[in-house]
Amino acid sequence: MAKKNFGHLKPCVHGADVFEAAGKSGFKRDAILDFSSSVNPSGPSEKALEAARDSFGQIASYPDSCATALRLAIANHYKGIAPSNVAVGNGSTELIYLFADAFMKKGDVAVIPAPSFGEYENAIRKTGERIKLVKLAKGFQANSTAFVRALVKKAKIVYFCNPNNPTGMLVSSDVLTDIARRALQRDTLIFLDEDFLEFVENGERFSMINQIHEFPNLCILRSFTKIYGLTGLRVGYTVASEEITDILMNAKIPWNVNCVAQAAAVAALKDEEHLEKTLQLIKEEKTFLLNELAKFKSLKVYPPDANFLFIDIQKTGLTAPQLREKMLRRGILIRDCSSFSGIDNCYVRIAVKTRLENEKLLAALKASLVKQV
């Protein structure tokens, strides 16, 4: 029989479920425009794809279980960190679960914002330990006082996503630093998910990667899924103290990142031109979408820092599941945010894509909200 806490686990709801959407809508999978997953609309760089193809000759052998070349490339990508500060995982989701498994012990509590990425909650539920949800303040802003108050004796981990998912807004650097400092005093770990930070204009100035030596309780998560577009290859990494990294490296399963993924990730890091083109595209298209969505008087769009838009649709008279269904009938998949803790069923999330795709989204939205525009 399964462990008692495993019996209560349910799969976390995500965007990007085009396989299920195709089955329900009658559209072929490739005919559905996926605005529910917030990844690079241009896909991976050609250099990353070339490196992936060149690595096919290694498929008959086991990959480097320590991902030595990739960890070195990541360390060289930043200032002041070494490969010994980097752990690599099969997508950032593996590392979310690995971190919870490695550090939560019986009686511990995990503090998680609401709303935020659902896998944090699922990872803690898998350990069988308790969750303390801290609802975000007005406007979905993080308040340091509320989180510091949640740092009770048994609080082992505080989770943050910056920019937050699904709201797309940055958490103030002052708030994060204050919480990290208070948590350090209480021997509480901070798990800071920066998966979307690379989409933020001048985003690296908001990163806490260069503060891991000041805060040995800090573990930062990054991914090759989002900005680098290696979504199907599944590569993520953490940056933390050597102590935390050693624990994660020892706790992970062997050969968790395949040879093709490792090779593509190394090449993706070096292709700065592709990154710059992506950021320019996101900047232009986000502005375009914001201007066009402002014409829909029944929608409230929250100011986005990331590459997706968080929208309150309450005034449309539709619920998020209903709007998702209407849009899917027109071949457009959006993210119904009803599954996120801390919000009701009146919020959706849409990714920023190319101009042609964004125009198709707007046309489908206008048709779906014809009485509400």
Residue 5: predicted pLDDT: 62
pLDDT at 318 over 80: yes
State the Rg of the chain over Cα.
20
**Tens digits of residue pLDDT in 286-303:** 999 999 999 999 999 999
Last residue of a domain, one of 220, 242, 270: 270
Distance separating alpha carbons of residues 49 and 81, to the nearest angstrom? 27
Q: What percent of the chain has pLDDT over 70?
A: 91
In this prediction, residues 161-187 reach a mean pLDDT of 96
pTM assigned to the model = 0.93
CATH code (residue 298): 3.90.1150.10
**Tens digits of residue pLDDT in 33-76:** 999 999 999 999 999 999 999 999 999 999 999 999 999 999 99
Residue 372: predicted pLDDT: 47
- Those residues with Cβ within 8 angstroms of residue 170's Cβ, 6 or more apart along the chain or in another chain: 162, 163, 164, 200, 206, 305
In this prediction, residues 182-211 reach a mean pLDDT of 95
Report H helices in 112-172. Answer: 118-127, 144-149
Containing structural domain, residue 357: 6-43+273-368
- Categorize the per-residue pLDDT at 373 as very low, low, confident or very high, splitting at 50, 70 and 90: very low
326 and 265 within one domain:
no
Count of structural domains, the chain = 2
Last residue of a domain, one of 270, 286, 313: 270
Indicate the residue type of 136: L
**Beta bridge partner(s), residue 158:** 111, 190
Indicate the residue type of 125: R
Token pair of 21, please? 């959407």
Average pLDDT value over all residues in the chain: 92
In this prediction, residues 236-252 reach a mean pLDDT of 98
287 and 235 within one domain:
no
1 within a domain of the structure (yes/no): no
309 and 343 within one domain:
yes
303 and 162 within one domain:
no
